[in-house]
Structure 1
Amino acid sequence: MLIDQEPMNNPIDLSRLASRWRSSDEWKKMVEEMDSAEPMPSHLNTINSSGLFHIVSTDKMSVLYNETPQHGHDVGVVQADCPAPTRRLAYYFEMTVKNAGQKGQVTIGFTMQHFKMRRQPGWEANSCGYHGDDGYLYHGQGKGESFGPTFTTNDIVGAGINYATHEFFFTKNAKLIGTVAKVIKGPLYPTIAVHSKNEEVTVNLGRTPFYFDIEGYIMEERLKQQTVIEKHSLQPNISHCVYLCLSNQQILVEKLIMNGNIDSAFQKLQEWYPQVVQDELSVICFLLCSQRFIEYIKIGQSEDAVSYGSSAITKFYKVKSYADLLEDIVGLLAYKVPAASSLGYLLDVPQREFVADAVNAAVLSTNPALKDPNRCMYSCLEKLLKQLTLCSLERRAAMEGQGEAFYLHFELQSAGKSKRG
């Protein structure tokens, strides 16, 4: 008979998620799926363009100026088919100048959707452009400012948005030229422009590798952010309040779990914190027994796992809440090489870490100083992490949702890797 029971602060779903999220392959896959939901510019938009003074190639990746301009409004401007994605640290695209034409008045930059398509990027409000004929940068004003070198035939220039610093950045022939503050709000379209006879450019929106090392740039920007964070020190009493909760007994129990010695950990809990394991169907008992079963599988003792499962695991089938995870745990027996299976994440170190974290949280609930013992799953450290997440979400909201999303599990995993390295 199933017991429709939901143990207090039941972390079973969290256990499943934490184990999967802490697996780098699973986590990367999830992040990629989230990113893929955001449209990426893929070609030039032949509909929303000036269309009078240029020809866009059939593959929609090149533009040729084929007329003789009569005045400053005879510009051939073309935007990408969709705005630059924003849920990332940076977006970047490149333009190759195949022919600088008569005057080399080619431009690369960003504009809003309803930009005047017969004006150079940067000449009008809500736009920014790096111009090849004079190397000037224009960002919404009629007068440009000295910015970088000019560019001409065979040069490859790039334009990007750094959402972490709220800046536009530009490159020439794989070198970073400079940055300018991004004061424009709203979706921005990658934009190129030609303005004199025979000017021809080709864009790379990511179909092929960029000439500029954009991945290296992003890595450097992340390191800069990390350096800034590490320069700020917390008040001593903050770290004290986190570690104060961990007694020597808790540390020993945690080490036993992390070493896979579940029987000894169980024994110490019964001796030091009996109230944590007094209910044999509690979440903590379930996690510990499940981990003991997993440890048998991990060292190849399948027969012992079956025997232990019959005596210690079967009782948990009474609790409906445990059904899904029980299915995974027992499912390990179906594989000749469990570590290589889809359930292999259960055999990884992060699974032990989660069990140890859950036990520590439960032990904290035995602290008589707690005003609300029902909040046993919330340690001081967890409160700090929750605050960090909230602040990150608020900061991103203030930036109109632009920039990399904050993934706490990814940050913790990255921090762990850097320490081990």
Structure 2
Amino acid sequence: MGDPANGRTEAIWSTSGTMPPYSRAFDIFSAPFDDDDESAGGDGHFFVPSYLKGSTYMQMLEEAHKAKLQAQKESKRSTVNGSANNSSAPFNQPPLPPGAHRGMAHNVIERPPAFEDDDALAPLPARWNKDDIWSGIEVESDNLSVKYTGGKNHHEREHEASAVRADRHMPPQCGIYYFEVQILHGKRDDTTVAIGFSTKTASLARPVGWEPESWAYHGDDGRCYTGQTNGRTYGPTFNAGDVVGCGVDFRDRTAFFTRNGVKLGGAFHDISRSKLYPSISLKKPGEVIVANFGQLPFVYNIDDLMREQREKIQKAIESTDTSRLEPGMNETDLIQTLVLQFLQHDGYVETARAFAEDMRTQKEALNLDPNVKVDGINIKDDEDANNRQRIRRAILEGDIDRALKHTNAYYPQVLRDSEEVYFKLRCRKFIEMVRKAAQMRSGSDSKGSNGRGSRSSSQDMDLDLDGSDNAAWGETLEMDGSEQPVELMKLEQSMLEYGQALEAQYANDPRKEVSKALGEIWALVAYSNPLTEPQVSHLLDRKGRAAVAEELNSAILSSLGKSSRASLEQVYAQTSALLENLRQDGGPGAFVSLQGLVEGITAFPQI
């Protein structure tokens, strides 16, 4: 077999001799690890097992991992720049670290849990724990291979073994957890390897499964053991060359094993709710195993099992009776009412009218009462919605001054009572000034396709919520070569004066988010064309306009005694919270991704 002491898993596989007829299924194990690839996982890097791709758990875990890496980069950058001044930016503000923020909007996960915080968000097991091991076995440098190094003599008892646990426990939030172990070497027909899981309290001095709080499948007799030395008949024995998988379904607290890609059936029921760690034990010289925690494709098709579970939960959701949610409404009526209320809430007046008329037409076509009155639309609501829509439109077009003017005219108390929103609007104004100046320098605003004249309020169309409308403040200017430098100089002078005044006003503000926001926007000035700089270009994205528009819209609604969020938004938020609660212990929420459901909605074809 060769000496695996060099720690390279691919070397072990390439020198392991003749493989069984089904060895083609194991070819994936021979692929070398790429130490620079964060998905490899062999060296503790972040990886995503195939069966967990797209799950809410992995999305949160990736966010937490990115936050950790970014914090490390920021800490390193702060250390490097600690004694240096940045002469390029006013007030010696340091430039923004690469990808540090996504603009002025709130992130999806506002405070990602610490990557090491098992109680908040348990990371996946990635290697064997060299500090949680019994003497007599050794973890190789790849952290995945384990070999027996102790010798047996007549003083040692046959029931003794050496076990090791993984570095982290199996996270219930993923719903089903699965890993595989290949037996690289062992005595033929007498391989004493045990594969399973255990809690931290289980002893590592005997085979896994023999000790309380441990569960395992043994290779020498094919029996399953759970906390005692008397196992029950379960499956075939396994030897060198075999790949044995272990899976735990946290939803129903069961466990199963696979052998060479074939599921053997249920092994344990009512398993402990304690933290469970992947575990193996060896007891004879020459025995060597290597684990796959998901860094590579599995031999068993665990993806299909996970897909079946997700489809099962989805069917249960779809079959749920919604008639009792709102008395007198069927599912269609309820959804239409939620959509209509959302359109009114966010000020899409014309769209709301068109939708309401379509609802009435549908009822007539279905031979229902054609005179059913659609509640929620009246002159007063229309007037208020039109005002909010004017303000929204101004922000989405980048004209913050016009938005402030409308807000002070229609809702003079809002900016006084919502100082945080007012500060963000002012920061956005500075960003738009930087954006316009950058466009003028690059010539993107001269005779461009984005130029458009002013539109009367009576003919205004509803704008998309994401602010993707191409209209931008000042982008209608068309100047010849002699006029542009003069206008650019005036704009840059105004921009700097405005920024300095904003900086001076908040110079002594103790809030970290204020100083952070000011540091971000000043970083834009350090670049001749921030629109093309990946470190800061995200701040200039038009989606940042939509975030500020939404916050101001919510503040206005709150000042009017109305809900700051539409009912549809509340339903989404409550559903997210419910799924998260059902996900913690591996319940049905672990198999449902709300974002995945939204992304899976098929749009109607354009006519």
User: Taking structure 2 as the reference length, what is the TM-score of the superposition?
Assistant: 0.49
Show the counterpart of 1:158: 245
Q: Give secondary structure in 2 for the equivalent of 1:122.
A: coil
1:387 Cα shift? 4.6
2:280 to 192, 208, 219: 192
Q: Percent identity?
A: 22
Alpha-carbon spacing, 1:265–1:46, altered in 2? closer, same or farther (3 Å): closer
> Which one scores higher on RCO, CA 8 angstroms, separation ≥ 6?
1
Per-residue CA deviation, residues 131-188 of structure 1 (Å, 9 max, x unaligned), is: 3355544444644254x55433201223244556654353433565555546213233
C-alpha contact (below 8 Å) 1:361/1:379 kept by paired residues:
no
C-alpha contact (below 8 Å) 1:293/1:305 kept by paired residues:
no
Show the counterpart of 1:112: 199
Distance 1:22 1:305 in 2: 34
The reply to whether residue 333 of structure 1 matches residue 519 of structure 2 is no
The reply to whether residue 367 of structure 1 matches residue 505 of structure 2 is no
C-alpha contact (below 8 Å) 1:269/1:277 kept by paired residues:
no
C-alpha contact (below 8 Å) 2:425/2:548 kept by paired residues:
yes
The reply to whether residue 353 of structure 1 matches residue 546 of structure 2 is yes
Q: Report the residue type matching 1:260 in the other structure.
A: E
Alpha-carbon spacing, 1:40–1:289, altered in 2? closer, same or farther (3 Å): same
Show the counterpart of 2:171: 86
Show the counterpart of 1:288: 425
The structure richer in strand per residue is 1
Distance 2:206 2:125 in 1: 25
Alpha-carbon spacing, 1:377–1:175, altered in 2? closer, same or farther (3 Å): farther
Q: How many residues align?
A: 386
Of the two, which has the highest radius of gyration?
Answer: 2
Gaps of 5+ in 1: 1-14, 371-375
> Which stretch has the larger CA shift, 155-164 or 295-304?
295-304
C-alpha contact (below 8 Å) 1:55/1:66 kept by paired residues:
no
Distance 1:415 1:326 in 2: 37
Q: Give secondary structure in 2 for the equivalent of 1:151.
A: coil
Q: Give secondary structure in 2 for the equivalent of 1:324.
A: helix
Q: Report the residue type matching 1:86 in the other structure.
A: P
Alpha-carbon spacing, 1:204–1:17, altered in 2? closer, same or farther (3 Å): farther
Distance 1:403 1:381 in 2: 25
Show the counterpart of 1:6: none
Show the counterpart of 2:159: 74
1:62 Cα shift? 1.7
Q: Report the residue type matching 2:526 in the other structure.
A: A
Alpha-carbon spacing, 1:64–1:281, altered in 2? closer, same or farther (3 Å): closer
> Which stretch has the larger CA shift, 259-268 or 30-39?
30-39
1:110 Cα shift? 0.6
C-alpha contact (below 8 Å) 1:112/1:187 kept by paired residues:
yes
Show the counterpart of 1:306: 492
The reply to whether residue 96 of structure 1 matches residue 182 of structure 2 is yes
Q: Report the residue type matching 2:519 in the other structure.
A: E
1:82 Cα shift? 4.2
Alpha-carbon spacing, 1:349–1:160, altered in 2? closer, same or farther (3 Å): farther
C-alpha contact (below 8 Å) 1:99/1:154 kept by paired residues:
no
User: Taking structure 1 as the reference length, what is the TM-score of the superposition?
Assistant: 0.66
1:392 Cα shift? 5.6
Distance 2:536 2:544 in 1: 11
C-alpha contact (below 8 Å) 2:148/2:287 kept by paired residues:
yes
1:108 Cα shift? 0.6
2:399 to 242, 245, 262: 262
Distance 1:226 1:259 in 2: 40
Gaps of 5+ in 2: 1-100, 350-384, 441-487
Distance 1:352 1:94 in 2: 48
C-alpha contact (below 8 Å) 1:276/1:362 kept by paired residues:
no
Distance 1:350 1:177 in 2: 51
Q: Any residues of structure 2 matched to 1:11-410 within 5 Å, and which? A: 19=105, 21-22=107-108, 42-43=127-128, 48-49=133-134, 56=138, 61-63=146-148, 67=152, 74-80=159-165, 82-84=167-169, 86=171, 89=174, 91-97=177-183, 98-117=185-204, 119-133=206-220, 135-140=222-227, 142-144=230-232, 146=234, 150-163=237-250, 166-174=253-261, 178=265, 180-181=268-269, 183-194=271-282, 200-204=287-291, 206=293, 209=296, 211-212=298-299, 220=307, 224=311, 227=314, 231=318, 232=320, 235=325, 240=337, 243=342, 245-247=345-347, 248=349, 249=385, 252-253=389-390, 256=393, 259-263=396-400, 266=403, 269-270=406-407, 273-275=410-412, 279=416, 282-298=419-435, 300-301=438-439, 303=488, 306=492, 309=495, 315-317=501-503, 318-319=505-506, 320=509, 322-339=514-531, 340-368=533-561, 370=562, 387-388=574-575, 391=578, 395=582, 399=585
